[in-house]
Amino acid sequence: MKIAEVSEKFGISSDTLRYYERIGLIWPVNRNASGIRDYNEIDLRRVDFIKCMRSAGLPVEVLIEYVALVQQGDKTIEARKEILIEQRDLLVARMKEMQKTLDILDHKIEVYENAVLKKEKEMIQTEDQALEII
Amino acid sequence: MKIAEVSEKFGISSDTLRYYERIGLIWPVNRNASGIRDYNEIDLRRVDFIKCMRSAGLPVEVLIEYVALVQQGDKTIEARKEILIEQRDLLVARMKEMQKTLDILDHKIEVYENAVLKKEKEMIQTEDQALEII
DNA sequence: CCTTGACTTGGAGTCGACTCCAAGTGATAC
DNA sequence: GTATCACTTGGAGTCGACTCCAAGTCAAGG
């Protein structure tokens, strides 16, 4: 699979895919005879993983470190686990913050909703008054 | 309340507080006789609101727009409501993404946990073998 | 009176994460 | 054979959001 197809498939620009490879965020992808990247199944799974992690806000730097550890084999399993746990905890914390914000947004939206309704009611009353007058 | 105290209270640097004011993200704060900012209760509530929204990732630009609408009074209630609803929906979407990532992280951590346990078990077996030999 | 220290300003600098660009290569279409 | 087109590279540019800096003001303490 060529880079443009991968870009299309995941909604990540070719530039970003190349950039990720350059900085060691995804493994060097195999090339065909003329030097063009040809993503295989495993490459795609890696891209998907990185996309997922990035979409949740895990820093590129941390992911680079993680990928480097994976490349070093089984002896780094403990270290990798620790990175993942740390990032999981940060993620949970961020989600909590977001939930708090969400509650406030919902509350504010409701207040605005009521304000709008009240305004409309007043307008209806005004209309009613107008009707009475006329 | 002076800027340093507000900074301390909310964990936002004085630079950032001044920056927020400069770009219209928080309202101009009253100054004392010598031109120094003196945050009152309402200012603090505004800072808290902005901090909360920013911590959930709402863009500065959107918040500037929202604050500008608030300053224009009741006639902008409908527009404000729409902004909040849009941002709420985006927030919910981001949280869903994050939940997906969280699930994957949890799963991976579990796998690593098992890998570590298996390794330890193998080591114990090796020890046992060593004991048997000796 | 002088120093200290927190404040003020506008503007420049930094950081993370892309995103764009120029110049070049190679396969396919006409 | 030449035009088109997607690809390649390294490096520069952009963007959002701060963060830092120099130069200056002012109030309080010694």
pLDDT 10s digits, B73-96: 999 999 999 999 999 999 999 999
What distance in Å separates the CA atoms of residue B112 and residue B101, rounded to the nearest whole number? Answer: 16
Q: H helices of chain A, where?
A: 3-10, 14-22, 41-55, 60-71, 77-133
Chain segment B27-69, per-residue pLDDT in tens:
999 999 989 999 999 999 999 999 999 999 999 999 999 999 9
* Angle between the N-to-C axes of helices A14-22 and A41-55, in degrees from 0 to 180, rounded to the nearest 10: 90
pLDDT of residue B118: 81
What's CA A16's distance to the chain center, in Å? 15
pLDDT of residue B124: 66
Rg (CA), chain A: 26
Contacts of B101 in chain A (CB under 8 A): 52-53, 55-56, 58, 91
**Chain B residues with CB inside 8 Å of A99's CB?**
95
* Regions of chain A short of the pLDDT cut 70: 124-134
Q: How far is A88 from chain B (nearest CA, A)?
A: 6
Q: B37 pairs with which residues across the strands?
A: B31
CA A44 to C1' D14, in angstroms, rounded, equals: 29
